[in-house]
Amino acid sequence: MLAFGTASLDAEVVKEKLLFYETDLTDLPSLNKIFEQHAREILGVLHFAGLKSVSRSVSHPLEFFHSNVVGSWNLFHCMAAHNITNIIFSSSASVYGSPERVPIPETEVLKPISPYGETKIVIEKLLHMLGTTGKITSVIPPDIRDLVGTLSALLPAPTADLAYPATLGANNENPSLWSVVILRYFNPCGAHPSGLLGECPKDTKNSNLMPVLAKVAMGELPSLTVFKSVLNTKDGTPIRDYIHVVDLAKGHVAALGKFSTQEVHTFNLGMGKGCSVLEVIEAFREASKRDVPFAVGATRAGDPPILIANVQKIADELSWSAQSDMKDICTDFWRWVEESPVGYCS
C-alpha cells in the first residue's frame, strides 16, 4: 500500500489533504495495525497493489504469486477481521489470454498465458467466494487453498513467522456477503492533464510502453524495441486497447455505486477500440514533436496478439465510457514528462 503527495498535488488535483501510509501487503502485522487504527472510518477498499509486469512474471512466477496472492489474502483477512466488506479490485485483461472473441466480453473463457494473469484469476476466485458465501473455506480447490502457506515457506517474508489462517470466516455461521467489483483493466496510460501526476518507472525493462517512448524521445534511450505479434495483425505488432488513466479513475468512481449491493460485479475497463504499437509510436511522435527510433524484436512470451474490450456492460450498468483518445493520452503524458523529466525526484 503506497500513497504519496505534494502540496501542489493535494491542492490542484486531489483538492484535499491525503492521509497515507507506506507498507507491504505481505506484511500482515503492519497492515493490520492500519486497519485497527482506521476501521471505523473505512467504507471500503480499492485494491490496486501488486506486481504487474507480464514479462517479469514469466521469469519470476513465484515472486508474483507471493506478492499478489499472499498480499491479497492478507488484505482480505484484515478486512474480514474488521467487518469491512466493500471492495473494488484491479484485475486485468491478461486473464483472457488469447481470446476467441474480440472485442472481449466479460463472459469470455479465462485462460491466461502468463503467471501474472494467473495471479489475477486466483484473486478473482477468492473474491467470488467472499461475494457469494462471505467466507473462504476448504471447499476451494486445494491448489488455491494451499497456495498462501506454500509460498510463505518458499519465499520468506516479513510475516514468515506468522501462521496464515487456512480459511477465512469459516467459523462464522452468518457471515456478511461482500460487495465486490472486479475491474479488468486493459492498457492504462497517459497522465493527469495538470502535468503533476504521471508515471516514471526506474526500471524501463519491465515498464509500460509510454515511459519508454518518453525516454527514447528525450534521448535517454537510443531506441525502442517493438515486439512482433504471434499473429498477422494489421502492421505486425500487437494491438491493445489503451485507456487514459483519468478515464480509468472515473471508472472506479462509477464502480463505487456498487458498494453495499452484496453481489459480485465484473466489468472491463477500456476504450473498446484498439491501436497497434506502431500507431502509438506515431501518435507519440506527433504529440512530442520528437523522433522515436525503434527496432523490431522477437515475439515476447506471455504477450497476446490482440486485446480489445467489449465495454457495453459497464456502459449499460454504470453509465461509464472512456472519453479520451490516443492523441489525448500522448499529449497529457508528454506534458507530464516536460513538467517532471525525472519524475517525482524533480
Q: Give the active site residues.
A: 116
Is the peptide bond prior to 103 cis by the omega test (within 30 degrees of 0)? yes
Residue 135: CB atoms within 10 Å: 19
Contact 53, 300 (CB under 8 A): no
Using DSSP's 3-state secondary structure scheme, residue 242 falls into: strand
**Distance between CA atoms of 21 and 7, rounded to whole angstroms?**
17
**Distance between CA atoms of 267 and 314, rounded to whole angstroms?**
6
In the beta sheet, which residues pair with residue 266?
182
Residue 274 in grid coordinates: 484498439
**Distance between CA atoms of 334 and 346, rounded to whole angstroms?**
16
Residue 248 in grid coordinates: 480509468
Phi-psi map region of 278: left, alpha, beta (phi>0 left; psi -120 to 50 alpha): alpha
Alpha helices in the chain (DSSP H): 7-9, 28-38, 54-59, 61-64, 71-81, 115-132, 142-145, 147-154, 209-217, 245-255, 277-288, 312-318, 326-339
**Distance between CA atoms of 151 and 64, rounded to whole angstroms?**
10
